[in-house]
Amino acid sequence: MRIAYQGEPGAFSEAASRQVAADVEPVPCRAFEDVFAAVETGACALGVLPIENSIGGSIHRNFDLLLQHDLTIVGEVEVPVVHHLLALPGTTLEQIRRVYSHPQALAQCDRFLRTLKNVEVIATYDTAGSAKLVADGKLTDAAAIASARAADVFGLEALKSSIQDFEHNVTRFLVVSQPDQPPLSKARPDKTTIVFTLANEAGALFKALSVFALRGIDLTKLESRPFPERKWEYLFYVDLAAPQDDVNCSRALAHLGEFAPMLRVLGSYPSTKPAARAAARTEETLA
């Protein structure tokens, strides 16, 4: 199964793609737009896209692209993110004058970067791509922030390890496919992602959210994005802790559709359950 992801081998998106299924063939893409194109054309069965990080927040570009393309969310995975400062073998920290990485990774390592003196921080398109840049250019005065796997792939060494601001750093990825594809797994969907617009009037958002609150449906994420075609109006992306075919959920969506000018279900899929994560943390504490 071919799965498109953004970045080079060793990127965290590649790690996410390998979690999706056992028989995957990860296909690197230069940009997020290329991931969507690979799935839409059938070159890849699935695409993996980062949507939010527990430190850096949402990846807004992918929210916008979900609306622009006719693909369906069929799953999600979470990947622990551990960043390392990588350089050519034999390079010392004192030699470093430039640090390359993706803007999200740079933001997640802000505290560490502030400790470096006389070092230029440069944003690039990818963490693993930054490691490749250092390796291919044989840059003895530069380093990249990337994964341990990227170090192995490109023959670099870690000058510093686990440099992210917070120990528990996790990125959530969405898995997308063409709408007519069979389900990704046999697991029953328990999460639904929607996007809608509202009239610009008092109480409109309260009214919209109340259709879920009155039916006991938990909202696990609410994100607003500018509506490009309408100045100072917004799109609202919502994750619902319920499958689309649940009676209460379907009624809530029908109710919302009565007054929302635009409503679209982006996917209903099995989640990475918060309860399971909480139980795992409890086991770690007791161990």
Active-site residues, by number, are: 171, 173
DSSP bridge pairs for 196: 236, 263
Pairing relation of β-strands 234-240 and 191-197? antiparallel
Question: β-strands 142-146, 98-101: how paired?
Answer: parallel
Q: Which one-letter DSSP state was computed for residue 93?
A: G
* Residue 268 backbone phi and psi in degrees, to 5: -130, 125
Query: CA–CA separation, 218 vs 170, rounded Å?
Result: 22
- Which amino acid is present at 182? P
> Are the C-beta atoms of residues 70 and 179 closer than 8 Å to each other?
yes
In the sheet with 157-161, reading across from the earlier edge strand, the strands are 120-123, 98-101, 142-146, 84-87, 157-161
Other CB atoms within a 10 A radius of the CB of residue 167 amount to: 8
User: DSSP secondary structure string, 158-213?
Assistant: EEEE--SSSS--EEEEEEEE-TTSPPSSSSPP-EEEEEEE--SSTTHHHHHHHHHH
For residue 142, the cross-strand partners are 98
Structure tokens at 40: 């839409």
